[in-house]
Structure 1
């Protein structure tokens, strides 16, 4: 098992950049072994041999998707979205008044919650941006999660994680026990498959890039490579947001941290926007902490009751 595990880790590193430590062996059992059993293979050794010989591109794709971390939820970690609303967006509105165009990239978008969270904030501020052309692109390595992102259908548990009830009722339609984000909101986001190890130049230039909670799975060399290529497609006065546990410490890049806002990075030499005291406030109340997992029933009841009241009105 150990040799096969090492060989699988080497394959994943070369094909997707994913770095797995010995402590992650349990992921093989929970994510890859079901594929071994489904394909009626003799074991992990046979699977690795097929991957190394490139005998089944579909099987290789299934393995990579199974090992990709896809944990996400609406307004995850809250702070980056507050910074988007109160720091990055006001700065971009001021800078782009002439061209009235804004391009945002949600890298490693997973099932779409991050991209749709940004879209909802932009919708709240639509009155401040009349006539603007706004593009939001979400990319991910996994076609499976992107298919879910395009459909925009989420379970009750998924929508209650970080999404305030007023936002849910304003932007989602209930379908049985699930909730689908409105067609109007889905039309604001485009999703496409892309490996972060690939070339980004065809994507064009972005004003804001969200690349959160993904670099932690790469080694230092891969991190610098990815950040270097992201910097080249970032506007000279644009912003890059990383995850709460990610930093540039020990990495050689052309990026510098915002002096006032942790987690925001800019091109080295880019002008620092003045802090905005007149912050953009959402129409709805600020997002509360995610509802406790012990209260899904009351959440659903209050949401459906509010939905019936809205329909009756």
Structure 2
């Protein structure tokens, strides 16, 4: 049985209101397949009856579970490779020249189950220019379940097989039953918390580097513009922004300069951009 038009419309409205993610027509199968487990757990035989209960009761926790179920949590270690090579060969060494405090802070936004945040920490540990420095990586995600999952630092064999080089597995992980656990030397500077990018960011301080990769593609232009503006406000003036390969600031928020770096590009806020925006 397919989800009804009315139920699909209601779910789309909830997801857009809570996360600004737009689900267009044609995503009915995705919505139904993601909500079937929730429906069954709530004692329903189909998604329509489950949605009807959501509409009548408007339980915040249940609605949040719907949003989390429909949030894409696609991730892997060192995803796309080039950004992490750029971080190691260009960004970290450049920042090292202007940080007498020998400290760096990185934000991994929409971090899913934590692979990106831990990948950043691994890269830092292998970058000679910042050897011995204090690194803080904060990973955030809309999903409370993903944040809890990431905080454990434990992954299955299947998960470590997705993009993790064998040398990194040997060097930075230890056995945990049938799976693997991030080594304390990599995990100690990494923390996770919930954050909805479409809402005011929680107090996190300023960042030298922000990874905002493969998430803006899910938002409309106005939401992208607002997120990029607020990201500028939490970055150091000479900080670097990493976006996904299919994402750019051009035509969305022109207060950024695109800088070729390695085989990819990074972005820096134009001088005075934050002041003009405020």
**CA, structure 1 residues 137+242, in 2 after alignment: closer, same or farther (shift >3 Å)?**
same
* CA displacement at 1:244 relative to structure 2: 0.9
- The equivalent of 1:8 in structure 2 is 11
Q: Hey, what's the Cα distance between the residues in 2 that align with 1:244 and 1:180?
A: 29
Q: Hey, what's the Cα distance between the residues in 1 that align with 2:202 and 2:257?
A: 22
Task: Give deviations 1:188-235, integer Å, cap 9, x for gaps.
Answer: 201111111121261111110001111111111111111110011111
User: Is 2:35 aligned against 1:32?
Assistant: yes
- The equivalent of 2:62 in structure 1 is 59
3-state SS, counterpart of residue 16 of structure 2: helix
Q: TM-score, normalised by structure 1?
A: 0.80
Q: Hey, what's the Cα distance between the residues in 1 that align with 2:139 and 2:90?
A: 21
Contact 1:224–1:253, Cα closer than 8 Å, also in 2 = no
* CA displacement at 1:245 relative to structure 2: 1.1
Gaps of 5+ in 1: 271-313
User: Is 2:265 aligned against 1:244?
Assistant: no
Task: Give deviations 1:48-92, integer Å, cap 9, x for gaps.
Answer: 455456632221121111111001010010011011111111111
- The equivalent of 1:273 in structure 2 is none
* CA displacement at 1:177 relative to structure 2: 2.4
Cα RMSD for the two superposed structures: 2.0
- The equivalent of 2:105 in structure 1 is 103
- The equivalent of 1:151 in structure 2 is 152
* CA displacement at 1:130 relative to structure 2: 5.2
Q: Hey, what's the Cα distance between the residues in 1 that align with 2:257 and 2:24?
A: 29
Residue from 94, 97, 110 that aligns with 1:94:
97
- The equivalent of 2:276 in structure 1 is none
Q: Hey, what's the Cα distance between the residues in 2 that align with 1:118 and 1:142?
A: 21
Q: Hey, what's the Cα distance between the residues in 2 that align with 1:221 and 1:146?
A: 27
Residue from 13, 20, 28 that aligns with 1:17:
20
- The equivalent of 2:167 in structure 1 is 166
- Aligned pairs for 1:1-313 (under 5 A) are 1-41=4-44, 43-48=46-51, 50-51=53-54, 55-96=58-99, 98-125=100-127, 128-129=129-130, 132-200=133-201, 202-260=203-261, 262-269=264-271
* CA displacement at 1:45 relative to structure 2: 4.7
Q: Hey, what's the Cα distance between the residues in 1 that align with 2:105 and 2:146?
A: 22
Q: Which of structures 1 and 2 has the bigger CA Rg?
A: 1
3-state SS, counterpart of residue 202 of structure 1: coil
* CA displacement at 1:179 relative to structure 2: 1.0
* CA displacement at 1:13 relative to structure 2: 0.5
3-state SS, counterpart of residue 209 of structure 2: strand
Comparing 180-189 with 259-268, greater Cα deviation is found at 259-268
Q: TM-score, normalised by structure 2?
A: 0.89
Gaps of 5+ in 2: 273-278
Q: Hey, what's the Cα distance between the residues in 2 that align with 1:78 and 1:227?
A: 23
Q: Hey, what's the Cα distance between the residues in 2 that align with 1:234 and 1:3?
A: 42
Contact 2:258–2:267, Cα closer than 8 Å, also in 1 = yes
Matched residue pairs, number?
268
